[in-house]
């Protein structure tokens, strides 16, 4: 059975394809349109480019899809069976030449419908898009955030905790997962028809991001990095606006989200940028960890699966492990809304097969290379760049020598990664021995970053260099958690060490990405350092590269010094001094 998952939100739209329990493909719309965090627009209803890319990778057509698992996001009025004033209002929008695509949850509240399928015209949907035989399964936003982290973890039982801005009318959900059975403790579909609560720490962090002059829903990582340079002087004040009850539920005293936003502006006006960032970071950690602490004690569970946009915050994820009763933490690597289609399909499979069968099909996630492999086309495309030459003789060895000498090498290999992190398929590599490499690369890529670059480390050496332990080892395969750098290593690899002595490593094994591993192993053999800088292969405000031409343009423009593929090492025709 082929199952298509889609998320058609106004940001981070994406799609995936499962063949029963096998995740065959997953692609974010932004990688195809080249628009950061791209979502469906006012003239679209579904992310067709991402859908068709995933189907092409799977080798099937829309007519082959058996089930479409969809978020309750923005759906065209044609897709609803509506009556009364809301239908008239939508028709008025159309006659006025304005295309308005409402949230399905808003439509459900107006129709007093608890089931999305009850107001959805499946036959009309099939006709419009060619899904000839597909049933449509609508999934809960937060449930879809949560289940992939548990499904792909090594935990038999876990607390599934999700947090984001707001989705399907709530900002948090909590589920006790035991042997595949999912007991929802908070954030169920019952919340859909209730007034939403002003309690989102995720939105609070977004508002601080905006008030500090960054782009919210995109630059929160800059705030996380900036926090390391400040003092949390207003953290206690921020936390006084939030309460965590005995059950673990979070509330706030803000009367509205605009009021919360205005408060963030006021704090940022009277504090330095660094202290404001440190304050909201500290408050976020304490509020979320307090909530998780209470749920862990309430359930007796010791493993935690985290997802939702707020858990892109790698310092928060470390705090969950180190300040709550959690003994193990795993974060689904596509933790933002781009990961929703994966969770939607897994929820459908749980619904279809039941907990016992679903549990038997669980597997530990080892890699997330789910996009298209353009490797065979790279040479052909490179010939269209006359200023670039290739060398197919011992490319790995030559790349290692160049890295030792301080060159910046783009790695382009295999299938593109899914999620926000570059994990060695579309990465930029450099030596970690000079802290100045951060500024040099950021200048070439037009970035302004406060976090140091992330390190990739050989699996067998990871615990030697970093505080890797059974609690964080799986999360560290995907660069989703920070940890301490061993004191004796901090001066040896300064380019990947933050001001607080931490790093967010990616652990790599050869079975997962042979070319990536071999370059790092060669660097280790020559330098005694089992670590390289790994940063995403993109210019500031652009998505990570997808097609060969995008990577080659970066080389031609001088953003990097070389590109390494499985077949060759590419360099400018004029030697680099």
- Final residue before a domain boundary, out of 110, 139, 168: 139
- Give a yes or no: residue 507 inside a domain: yes
Verify that 135 and 147 share a domain, yes or no. Answer: no
Which of 187, 194, 197 has the alpha carbon at shortest distance from 254? 197
DSSP helix/strand/coil, 47: coil
Verify that 102 and 166 share a domain, yes or no. Answer: no
Verify that 100 and 189 share a domain, yes or no. Answer: no
* One pLDDT digit (tens) per residue for the chain, 577 residues: 999 999 999 999 999 999 999 999 999 999 999 999 999 987 788 999 999 999 999 999 999 999 999 999 888 766 766 544 444 445 544 544 555 577 888 888 777 777 888 889 899 999 999 999 999 999 999 999 999 999 999 999 999 999 999 999 999 999 999 999 999 999 998 887 778 899 999 999 999 999 999 999 999 999 999 999 999 999 999 999 999 999 999 999 999 999 999 999 999 999 999 999 999 999 999 999 999 999 999 999 999 999 999 999 999 999 999 999 999 999 999 999 999 999 999 999 999 999 999 999 999 999 999 999 999 999 999 999 999 999 999 999 999 999 999 999 999 999 999 999 999 999 999 999 999 998 999 999 988 778 779 999 999 999 999 999 999 999 999 999 999 999 999 999 999 999 999 999 999 999 999 999 999 999 999 999 999 999 999 988 899 999 999 999 999 999 999 999 999 999 998 654 4
Contact 314, 480 (CB under 8 A): yes
- Final residue before a domain boundary, out of 92, 108, 139: 139
Which of 65, 29, 30, 32 has the alpha carbon at shortest distance from 46? 29
Verify that 287 and 404 share a domain, yes or no. Answer: no
Contact 71, 9 (CB under 8 A): yes
Q: What is the predicted pLDDT for the residue at 86?
A: 47
- Give a yes or no: residue 17 inside a domain: yes
CATH number of the domain residue 261 falls in: 3.30.420.40
- Give a yes or no: residue 577 inside a domain: no
* Cβ-Cβ contacts under 8 Å for 70 (sequence gap 6 or more): 5, 6, 7, 8, 136, 137, 138, 139, 344
Q: What is the predicted pLDDT for the residue at 149?
A: 98
Euclidean distance between CA atoms 155 and 148, whole angstroms: 12
The number of beta carbons lying within 10 Å of the beta carbon of residue 197 is: 16
Over residues 391-447, the pLDDT tens digits come to 999 999 999 999 999 999 999 999 999 999 999 999 999 999 999 998 999 999 988
Verify that 8 and 30 share a domain, yes or no. Answer: yes
Q: What is the predicted pLDDT for the residue at 443?
A: 92
Verify that 169 and 38 share a domain, yes or no. Answer: no
- Give a yes or no: residue 85 inside a domain: yes
Q: Any idea how long the chain is?
A: 577
- Give a yes or no: residue 347 inside a domain: no
- Give a yes or no: residue 360 inside a domain: no
CATH number of the domain residue 481 falls in: 3.90.870.20
Q: What is the predicted pLDDT for the residue at 43?
A: 74
Verify that 241 and 376 share a domain, yes or no. Answer: no
- Final residue before a domain boundary, out of 310, 332, 354: 332
- Give a yes or no: residue 343 inside a domain: no
- Give a yes or no: residue 431 inside a domain: yes
Q: What is the predicted pLDDT for the residue at 428?
A: 98
Verify that 301 and 440 share a domain, yes or no. Answer: no
The number of beta carbons lying within 10 Å of the beta carbon of residue 35 is: 14
Verify that 204 and 269 share a domain, yes or no. Answer: yes
What domain count does the chain have?
A: 3
DSSP helix/strand/coil, 405: coil
**Backbone region of residue 70 per phi and psi (left: phi > 0; alpha: psi in -120 to 50; beta: other values):** beta
Verify that 193 and 325 share a domain, yes or no. Answer: yes
Verify that 213 and 288 share a domain, yes or no. Answer: yes
Verify that 75 and 170 share a domain, yes or no. Answer: no
The alpha carbon dihedral of 554, 555, 559, 560 has a sign of positive
CATH number of the domain residue 23 falls in: 3.30.420
Our CA dihedral for 305, 455, 500, 275, rounded to 10 degrees, sits at: -80
Q: What domain range includes position 418?
A: 371-572
């Amino acid at each position: 059975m082929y199952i298509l998952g889609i998320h058609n939100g106004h940001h981070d739209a994406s799609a995936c394809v499962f063949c029963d329990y096998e995740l065959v493909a997953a692609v974010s719309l932004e990688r195809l349109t080249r628009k950061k965090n791209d979502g469906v627009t006012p003239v679209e209803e579904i992310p067709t480019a991402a859908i068709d890319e995933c189907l092409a990778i799977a080798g099937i057509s829309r007519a082959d899809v058996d089930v479409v698992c969809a978020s309750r996001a923005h759906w065209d009025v044609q897709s609803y069976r509506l009556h009364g004033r809301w239908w008239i209002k939508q028709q008025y929008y159309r006659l006025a030449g304005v295309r308005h695509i409402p949230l399905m949850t808003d439509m459900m509240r107006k129709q007093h419908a608890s089931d999305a399928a009850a107001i959805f015209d499946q036959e009309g949907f099939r006709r419009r898009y060619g899904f000839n035989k597909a049933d449509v399964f609508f999934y809960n936003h937060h449930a879809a955030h949560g289940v992939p982290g548990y499904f792909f973890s090594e935990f038999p039982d876990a607390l599934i905790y999700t947090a984001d801005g707001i989705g399907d009318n709530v900002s948090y959900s909590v589920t006790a997962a035991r042997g595949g059975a999912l007991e929802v403790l908070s954030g169920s579909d019952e919340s859909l028809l209730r007034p939403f609560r002003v309690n989102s720490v995720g939105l609070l962090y977004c508002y601080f991001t905006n008030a500090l002059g960054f782009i919210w829903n995109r630059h929160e990582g800059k705030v996380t990095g900036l926090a390391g340079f400040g003092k949390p002087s207003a953290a206690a004040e921020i936390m006084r606006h939030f309460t965590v009850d005995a059950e673990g539920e979070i509330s706030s005293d803000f009367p509205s989200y605009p009021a919360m936003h205005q408060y963030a502006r006021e704090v940022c006006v009277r504090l330095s940028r660094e202290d404001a960032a440190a304050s909201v970071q500290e408050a976020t950690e304490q509020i979320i960890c307090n909530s998780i602490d209470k749920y862990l004690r309430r359930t007796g569970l010791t493993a935690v699966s985290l997802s939702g946009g707020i858990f892109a915050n790698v310092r928060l994820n470390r705090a969950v492990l180190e300040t709550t009763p959690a003994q193990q933490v795993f974060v689904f690597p596509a933790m933002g809304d781009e990961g929703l289609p994966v969770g939607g399909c897994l929820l459908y499979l749980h619904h279809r097969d039941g907990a016992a069968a679903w549990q038997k099909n669980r597997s530990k996630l080892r890699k997330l290379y789910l996009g298209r492999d353009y490797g065979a086309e790279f040479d052909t495309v490179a010939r269209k760049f006359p200023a670039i030459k290739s060398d197919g003789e011992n490319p790995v060895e030559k790349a290692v020598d160049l890295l030792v000498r301080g060159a910046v090498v783009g790695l382009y290999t295999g299938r593109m990664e899914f999620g926000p992190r570059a994990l060695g398929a579309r990465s930029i590599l450099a030596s970690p021995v000079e802290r100045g490499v951060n500024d040099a690369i950021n200048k070439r890529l037009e970035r302004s970053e406060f976090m140091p670059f992330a390190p990739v480390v050989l699996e067998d050496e990871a615990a030697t260099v970093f505080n890797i332990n059974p609690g964080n080892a799986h999360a560290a395969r995907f660069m989703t958690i920070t940890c301490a750098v061993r004191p004796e290593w901090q001066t040896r690899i300064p380019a990947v060490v933050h001001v607080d002595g931490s790093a967010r490593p990616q652990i790599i094994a050869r079975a997962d990405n042979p070319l990536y591993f071999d370059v790092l192993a060669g660097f280790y053999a020559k330098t005694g350092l089992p670590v390289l800088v790994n940063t995403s292969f993109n210019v500031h405000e652009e998505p990570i590269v997808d097609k060969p031409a995008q990577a080659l343009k970066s080389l031609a423009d001088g953003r990097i010094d070389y590109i390494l593929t499985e077949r060759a090492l590419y360099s400018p025709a004029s030697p680099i001094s």
